[in-house]
């Protein structure tokens, strides 16, 4: 199986799951996602970009979406993917199918029809009641091999990110993780998958030139769902599959996660303090501020290390990710290790006395000044108002 390659040296890089793995490479200049091959190496490997016809009899067509209906009203990613899947399918002149596995799930077939599916494929069986990785891989891989969709999408839920890679491996195909954009290159009938790299510092466009289906997990909230349409119709299929439950993993207990009242990840307003606040006493100020604004307090690692507050408030790569309406980040310089935890905030206000601090690049509003002073003034004013 010869693989194709773009001849532009700046795009030789890749990342695990999407191409050459980071840092690997025997020669050439390193790029963030791997090694840019030297000229000689490129010429050695370069093949012309040709869309190779698949061997006769293996015609892959159609856009599939994995229907994750758990937490149906809060978790909208499947509906978002149906909308996008439709768009992709139209460009390819193909059908968009939602695949639903579970037990007593007919209502979801109806819901997905109403939200735009052309086809809903249902596998309803008691063994599929709980989402179990290997059991689902067994069922879905059979369906993929029978029906041969060219594209298969799933939401990047925790389950999706555990299930899809295993499925992709079983199908010996490529998978990209947590995509933030999807487009079709019609001339080559390829799905262009855009994923973040380095905690979101960069974006990578990835293709799966040869293998099928082209699989991707998609970040929730990227696409917009279609409005529920009661008049919509779809073909509902009940394919035959062998169902063999995985015995080696037994679910003993499943409890909804304790959502602490006012937990960081649920808060509408998050105020984050960094080392630039100066002291533990100054950091304490944030708690009153948060209370007045109806929010929660977060912290960066240097603050945790200095013992100014507890580890559960840590945000970032080794801490929590938050998506509040408003995030105020004070006295933080904007290290990538921290900022990966706050990309999702709707509005970011940063306060730092260094105008060149990287945090300002990701802020909607940047205030150049001493964080402690500005926040104490804010606190004063708020106390008077509220």
Binders of other proteins in range 167-186 (CB under 8 A):
168-170, 172-178
Pick the stretch among 12-20, 50-58, 95-103, 112-120 that binds other proteins (CB under 8 A): 12-20
- From residue 202, alpha-carbon distances to 16, 44, 78, 305 in Å are 15, 28, 26, 28
- The yes or no reply on residue 363 touching other proteins (CB under 8 A) is yes
Nearest to 212 by CA among 20, 89, 64: 64
Nearest to 317 by CA among 200, 219, 221, 205: 200
Min dist CB 23 to other proteins, Å, is 6
Chain centroid, CA 28 distance in Å: 31
Question: What length is written for the chain?
Answer: 386
Answer for which of 42, 76, 161, 291 binds other proteins (CB under 8 A) is 161
Q: What CA–CA distance (Å, rounded) separates 45 from 39?
A: 10
- The yes or no reply on residue 220 touching other proteins (CB under 8 A) is no
Stretch 308-347: interaction string toward other proteins, x if CB under 8 A:
---------xxx-----xx-x------xxxx--------x
- The yes or no reply on residue 121 touching other proteins (CB under 8 A) is no
Q: What CA–CA distance (Å, rounded) separates 149 from 54?
A: 14
Site size for other proteins (CB under 8 A) = 131
Cβ proximity to other proteins, 152 vs 360, nearer residue? 360
Pick the stretch among 86-94, 103-111, 115-123, 350-358 that binds other proteins (CB under 8 A): 350-358
Cβ proximity to other proteins, 113 vs 135, nearer residue? 135
List CB contacts of 285: < 8 A, sequence separation 6 or more: 277, 372, 375, 376, 379
Min dist CB 232 to other proteins, Å, is 27
Footprint (CB under 8 A) of other proteins, residues 62-81: 70-71, 74-75
Pick the stretch among 11-19, 53-61, 94-102, 142-150 that binds other proteins (CB under 8 A): 11-19
Q: What CA–CA distance (Å, rounded) separates 339 from 9?
A: 29
Answer for which of 40, 203, 224, 227 binds other proteins (CB under 8 A) is 203
- From residue 151, alpha-carbon distances to 64, 89, 182, 233, 386 in Å are 6, 9, 11, 22, 54
Cβ proximity to other proteins, 24 vs 54, nearer residue? 24
Cβ proximity to other proteins, 222 vs 234, nearer residue? 222
Which tokens sit at 217? 């997990």
Q: What CA–CA distance (Å, rounded) separates 311 from 314?
A: 5
Footprint (CB under 8 A) of other proteins, residues 238-277: 246-259, 269
Answer for which of 15, 65, 264, 290 binds other proteins (CB under 8 A) is 15
| 3-state SS class at 56 | coil
């Amino acid at each position: 199986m010869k693989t194709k390659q773009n001849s532009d040296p700046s795009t030789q890089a890749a990342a695990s799951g999407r191409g050459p793995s980071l840092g690997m490479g025997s020669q050439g200049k390193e790029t963030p996602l791997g090694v840019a091959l030297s000229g000689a190496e490129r010429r050695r490997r370069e093949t012309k970009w040709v869309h190779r016809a698949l061997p006769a009899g293996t015609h892959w067509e159609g856009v599939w979406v994995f229907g994750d209906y758990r937490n149906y009203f809060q978790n909208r990613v499947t509906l978002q993917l149906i909308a996008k899947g439709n768009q992709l399918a139209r460009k390819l002149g193909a059908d968009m199918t939602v695949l639903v596995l579970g037990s007593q799930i007919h209502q979801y077939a109806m819901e997905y029809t109403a939200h735009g599916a052309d086809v809903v494929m249902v596998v309803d069986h008691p063994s599929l009641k709980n989402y179990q990785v290997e059991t689902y891989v067994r069922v879905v891989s059979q369906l993929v091999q029978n029906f041969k969709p060219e594209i298969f999408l799933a939401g990047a839920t925790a389950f999706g990110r555990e299930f899809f890679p295993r499925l992709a491996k079983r199908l010996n195909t490529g998978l990209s993780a947590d995509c933030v954009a999807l487009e079709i290159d019609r001339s080559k009938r390829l799905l262009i998958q855009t994923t973040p790299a380095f905690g979101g510092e960069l974006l990578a466009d990835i293709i799966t030139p040869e293998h099928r289906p082209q699989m991707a997990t998609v970040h929730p909230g990227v696409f917009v769902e279609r409005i529920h349409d009661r008049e919509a119709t779809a073909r509902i299929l009940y394919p035959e599959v062998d169902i063999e439950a995985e015995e080696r993993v037994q679910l003993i207990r499943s409890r909804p996660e304790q959502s602490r009242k006012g937990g960081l990840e649920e808060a509408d307003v998050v105020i984050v303090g960094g080392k630039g606040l100066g002291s533990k006493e100054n950091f304490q100020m944030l708690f009153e501020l948060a209370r007045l604004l109806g929010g929660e307090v977060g912290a960066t690692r240097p603050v945790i290390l200095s013992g100014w507050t507890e580890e559960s408030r840590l945000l970032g790569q080794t801490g929590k990710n938050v998506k509040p309406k408003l995030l105020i980040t004070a006295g933080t310089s904007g290290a990538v290790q921290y900022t990966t935890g706050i990309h999702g905030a709707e509005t970011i206000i940063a306060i730092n006395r260094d105008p060149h601090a990287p945090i300002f690049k990701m802020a909607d509003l940047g205030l150049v000044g001493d964080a402690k002073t500005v926040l104490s003034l804010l606190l004063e004013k708020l106390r008077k108002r509220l």
